[in-house]
Structure 1
Amino acid sequence: MTSASFLSLQELAMQLRTELQTKKFVLLYAYNGTGKTRLSVAFKELGKNGDDRDTLYFNAFTEDLFQWDNDLKNDRERVLKINKDSRFFAGLDELEMDNRIRPLLNRYADFDFRIDTTEWEVSFSREMNSGGSTTMAEDIKVSRGEENIFILCFFLAIVQLTLDGAEAYKWVKYIYIDDPVSSLDENNVIAVANHLAQLLTHSEKGARVVVSTHHVLFFNVLCNEIKNKARRYFLKNGTTLDSYSLLDTSAKPFLHHLAALVELQEVQASGALYTHHFNMMRRIMEQTAAFFGLEDWKACLAAPGNDPDLTLHKRIIDLMSHGDYSLYEPREMMPENKAHFRTIFRQFIAGHPFSPALFSGDIK
């Protein structure tokens, strides 16, 4: 499958389950707002059969299983409460989760924790140096990024139990991980991607895995680590409301701005141009400007002396990439805007050294 369209998230989720019959991994890249989290929920819902489940998932809903009690009365004993009713925590009080999570957390953070399985809460502590002496600060509130890395390490410990065949997680057939690095700096993004790939690929048995993300660095590290064991896709909104498209990028190295550029070449050639394609064009220009150290995306347009329509093109992109021209409500461009888009696109390609091998046919 080079490219395929789907009329609903459920249809797309069914396709992913089909893919996982022959591949152990599916990696998805998508822009924020495309529907990655909703897709993970649709995938999970397909595995429900009464009280039975088959998917262990990490997404925004997983993070919501943990909630802060900030001790508003005394402002002293702050703890992270655990939702004990979730199957996510099966066997928590008998599997020594503290000892399983701690080695994982030590890779990324300098704080410690304690899980109370009677009160179903987590307390945090950190060594503090002051005046040459070391003290332990107890019941601290960690930052949002530190909280997220703790929850991720909690999840990874459960994944390890699943891959090891722990009885409490025998029900897991699929693992779905959605955007686990949204609050991390780039050093930790690389570390998490590498660690996740090592954890998942070193097990010859166990669950099939989907990982979705909007973070291009995380995606590319996973692609490089997992290589031909994974099917790799660029997930996009379709041309109609609530439709979706999968572009298979397994056969070549993937950078999402290049995939977007190829898509723009195809739609400008076919005439199937919608207003949200101006958003894509602007984003590609922003990334190109950042790469070349230019002041902003406008520097990627033709030089003022060579293009009498430069000011017009700037205004068109500004107008069409803001306001009501949303990718969630695709609207076909007017003929005059299609003509402007083609001119902007072709001048951009001509002015920057992208490989001609990316495109099918000549850019005219």
Structure 2
Amino acid sequence: MKRHIAVDVTGLLLAVVVTAASIQDRDAGHRLLAILRGTFSTIRLVWADGGYPGRLLGWANSLLALRVDIIKPKPGSTGFHVRPRVWVVEWTFRLAQQISPLCPRLRGQARTPRSDGSRRHHRDHDQATRPNLTVLNHTLSEGTTSRRTIRSFIQWRHRTGIAARFTIRYRTARTTPLAASTTRLELIRTTIEADHITLSTRIAALLLLLYGIPVRRIAELTLENITTTPPGPTVRIGTLPAPLPEPLLPLLQQHLDSHANQKTTNHESRWLFPGTRAGHHLTEKTLMQRLRKLGIDIRAARNAALHDLSKEIDAASLAALLGYTPNTMNIHAARAAIPMGSYPAIKHPKR
């Protein structure tokens, strides 16, 4: 397998083409330049390695209006030496080794002894990539919801042996938004009475306001999570089913009878909130956008729900009902000034 990339003068990635190892570089160059031109219409000059000679240059000039200059080795030079412009591409490949799961195979490099010049070259690359690790550390600690994906990716790299363990400092939230209980109750009343709002959006909003469930978890609810028991309908979010309040039942039953998006490509969907793509649920991003249009501050509303519930139910039971860890519920209980909030979490016996 071969990988061909186009970068700007600072090493930022612009285009990528992956081909079989049997494909010659000049043939893959046609695809790479076509992608580059289709994506970036203002580029006029491209520097290329010596593996891209021949008809590629004339083809790029006549059809793509791209001037391709080949960077050749210095006459009479032997061994390793840094070539103008080419080192930027090499630096990008080296950087990819730090952050990509494909990095050990990115260039198909063999573990061969390096010359003194090569060692100096790679030492410079290592020094250049350290600030990027600092940025990654900052993103994980202070970033938005993308840190969950980044953290999972780094953990996967370590488990598969691609890279060593990457240790970061614990993230401390800058702020903890909290809506007032009266605001939360007013939002619940407004959502129940908002007949002009899509039914699925109202139900999702009520689940957030009543239980403080993460939006991602709401989007992933299935029909099997809703069950009917003698005491009344329940929703299974955690290990224990949580009872559904009476004002929510008529809306939920109407939603189950109509089940949005089933008339398009999501026939017989198992999701409580089907998306427009067949077999997929509504995305977290879409659901968050709909909730914000209702005037709901998602983080503040979720914290308010957990804050109020912590006053009524002990942390261990609340964790089992809502799918949170006992430690997380202990934190919310402590913020709500509940005396038992700082007690060790009580684990429910396995059944």
| Shorter-normalised TM range | under 0.3
TM-score (norm 1): 0.20
Q: Which has the higher strand share?
A: 1
Taking CA–CA contacts closer than 8 Å with sequence separation of 6 or more, which of the two structures ends up with the larger relative contact order? 1
Q: Which has the higher helix share?
A: 2
Bigger radius of gyration among the two: 2
TM-score (norm 2): 0.20
